[in-house]
Structure 1
Amino acid sequence: MKTERPKWRAAARNFVEAVPAILLAAMFVAFIVQVFMRYVLNSPVGWTVEVCVIAWTWVILWGQSVSAREEDEIRFDIIYGTVSPAVRRVFRLIFSLFLVVIYAISLPAVWDYVTFMKIEETSYLDIPYSWVFFVFVLFTVGSILRYAWIFWGALQGREETHEDGDPQAVTRKDFSE
């Protein structure tokens, strides 16, 4: 059974999934510009490399902390899929609590480093490194919230479900999907 989600939630999901797509498009354009400048005009430009590196950093960290759904995460499915739902619940409790604690412990150091990096800028685009690395703060906070939500759901006994609403779909995941 699939329930209808509020429009704001669908719009938010569309936005967080569009960010990596836009960044990948920017990377592609920068790459094409770099190839054209280097091999056609014989005048390479450095800013394209910066755009690609910054965009890739944001794609990876934004994607994992904000865009990826729980069922998109890599797990040891060989063990996880063969145990009972009660054991999977214990796995989720332990794993999510562990990650919340680790990320929460690291958050002050992450914040200190990112705010410290405002004193340096990228070589070509002169973007403060605090802006470049701010995605790591988002990643850390997003991960804390994500795994706290998973912990809370497991604590309440909420069964893990696939995006189509089928709780058994989690146990059917295999390499053929």
Structure 2
Amino acid sequence: MSVRRPALAALLAVLLTGAGLALAGCAPTVSLEPAADANDPGCAEVSVRLPDAVAGQQKRVTDAQATGAWGSPTAVLLRCGVPPIGATTKPCVSVNGIDWVLMTDPAAKTIVYQTFGRTPATEVIIDHVQGVSDSSVLPEFASAIAVVKQTQKCLSTLDTDLTPTPAPTPSN
């Protein structure tokens, strides 16, 4: 039984077109610098729990330990093992049990959040130009970040006692 040339040519054209489309859909590896403590075992725990999609953006391959990237072009980046921050006056929000400190100007095109009260700390970088919002990104990381024990909570001005302490009275 022989295959006719036109049928074979059509089949080959379909296979080559499909392969071309599949390769065109592959995004190149995202090159990132690992954080200083990327080799912390907590980062390994975070890394294996990172979601396949964030804010509708598919996960991409990165070339650095304890990192993640989503979207093509990249809209969200994650690095675990950044130096933890201490007390700060920067805005802090709690999203699904994870405290995040806003490290950049909220009006910037690229926003950086960092976990608070967890070591190793994790930062998430969100490119607003790509059309993703903070509220669609941060909740996606809750289950991955939650494996790192929280030792401190963010406090807002509502959580602190702002009652002025009376000045001591002079004694005679």
TM-score class, shorter-chain normalisation, is under 0.3
- Give the structure with the larger helix fraction: 1
TM-score between the two structures when normalised by the length of structure 1: 0.22
For the pair shown, the structure with the greater C-alpha radius of gyration is: 2
